[in-house]
A = this chain, B = another copy of it.
Amino acid sequence: MKKQTDHTPWCRDHKGTVYTFEEYFDFMKDFHGYPAPGLIIGGRMVDIALERFPKGTLFDAISETSYCLPDAIQMLTLCTTGNAWLNVVDLGRFALTLYDKHDGTGIRVFLDPGKMKPWQEIMNWFYKLKPKPEQDNQLLREQIKAAGSDIFSVREVQVAPRYLEKRSKGKTTDCPQCGEAFPSNHGTICRGCQGDAPYS
């Protein structure tokens, strides 16, 4: 990719810190390991949502895909997997929503197939119209940058009440089998000892 020398903002975080395309690349490598196209696009999507969201509102987030987009949200807002302000709802749609955690009103930003058509390399990547080795990664990044906000649509949404509830762990007790602590509402022994442990 050509060295970016312009100072045009690409995205911002919840505190208002602005990232140029180039600065955001460094941030992506540091957090996600590499500047994935979906994450580049995701940065702009979070920016659009933040821009429309009333300042000072406490918000939670939904990512409708488990690919890339959750990381754009985690990098640019305080909504994370570990604090559960980020909800990944695996619908496989490239869309995110920031919503008021009290009343559920939100802004949904989504990649709009109708608007992507003029950008052939974005189409090649997103719909896998060409095998990955034949895709032109530099052109893809240039098209993502040039397209900017033009490939998204935005709408206001009302998030369902179950996403407004605070999660509760209940009582914690020690498992009589492995001896480790677990939420007692999981059963008499922990889920690991019930056969769900990821080890062989």
B-binding residues in A (CB < 8 A): 31-33, 36, 39, 62, 64, 66-72, 74, 78, 80-95, 97, 104, 108, 110-114, 126-128, 157-163, 169, 171-174, 179-183, 186, 190-192, 196-200
Contact = CB atoms under 8 A, between A and B. Distances in A.
A32 B78 contact: yes
B71 A80 contact: yes
A181 B126 contact: yes
A159 B33 contact: no
Nearest to A95: B180
24 contacts: A31-B74, A33-B78, A66-B82, A68-B82, A70-B81, A71-B83, A74-B74, A87-B198, A91-B192, A91-B197, A93-B180, A93-B192, A94-B180, A104-B200, A110-B180, A111-B180, A112-B180, A113-B179, A114-B179, A127-B172, A127-B181, A158-B199, A159-B199, A163-B198
A32 B200 CA distance: 32
B198 A128 contact: no
A179 B80 CA distance: 29
B179 A128 contact: no
Contact of A72 (B72, B78, B82, B89): B82
The 9 closest A-B pairs by CB, nearest first: A71-B82, A33-B78, A70-B82, A70-B81, A92-B183, A91-B191, A92-B182, A160-B200, A91-B192
A82 B110 contact: no
B200 A113 contact: no
B160 A198 contact: yes
Given A74-B82, A108-B199, 18 more contacts: A32-B82, A33-B78, A39-B82, A66-B81, A70-B81, A71-B83, A81-B86, A90-B191, A91-B190, A91-B192, A92-B182, A92-B190, A92-B191, A113-B180, A127-B172, A157-B199, A160-B199, A160-B200
